Amino acid sequence: GRDNRFTVRAGVGLTDRLRLEAAYLYETFNARDEFWDWSGNTALGRITFDLTSSLQVALAYSYRNGDVIAYARPPRPDIVAISSKQEVVDTFGFPFYTAYKLRGSTNSVSVSAAYTVNKNISLEMSYEYQNTFHGSLDYENHLFEAKVAFGY
């Protein structure tokens, strides 16, 4: 498939240790099969604070409105009523699930921390809570990430 992204981002340093950032993202994905094509608009705000010269923390919020693919075992007349297309998938084994394409909105809140160990290595951790919804349909996700970044 082909992934296209257009981003506008701006930020301002309020002090030597505190920064605000805002961004807008429009993205589309074109797959071989039209069912899996999607697009969406995202607005993001983030505040970053340097606790020490080695430790940085950030808090962010984003709102996305766009295409969503939801998976469920049929019958799901509640999802059929709000979806534009459906397709049976065997991704999750048997019994088969149905993929439902619909418009949805996602609110995300994240907190992250980055610690610089030395000039070449940093440790990064983040947690993100996502809530995606359309009408009575409501999904929650909890994303955890831990990284060791190495630069040379």
> pLDDT, tens digit, for every residue of 61-96?
999 999 999 999 989 999 999 999 999 999 988 989
HSE, side-chain direction, 13 A CA sphere, residue 34 = 2
State mean pLDDT over 111-135. 97
pTM above 0.75, yes or no: yes
Average pLDDT, the chain: 96
pLDDT score recorded for residue 134:
95
Residue type (1 letter), 95 = P
User: Which residues, other chains included, contact 5 with Cβ-Cβ below 8 Å and sequence gap of 6+?
Assistant: 25, 26, 27
pLDDT score recorded for residue 76:
92
pLDDT band at 148 (very low <50, low <70, confident <90, very high): very high
pLDDT tops 90 at residue 136: no
Q: To 10 degrees, the CA torsion angle through 63, 64, 65, 66?
A: -170
State mean pLDDT over 47-66. 98
- What gap in Å lies between CA 82 and CA 108, rounded to an integer? 22
CA distances from 86 to 60, 102, 139, 146 (A): 33, 9, 18, 35
State mean pLDDT over 36-55. 97
Q: Which long-range contacts (CB under 8 A, 24 or more apart) does 90-98 make?
A: 97/71, 97/72, 97/73, 98/71, 98/72, 98/73, 98/74
State mean pLDDT over 131-142. 94
**Element spanning 152, H or E:** none
pLDDT score recorded for residue 12:
98
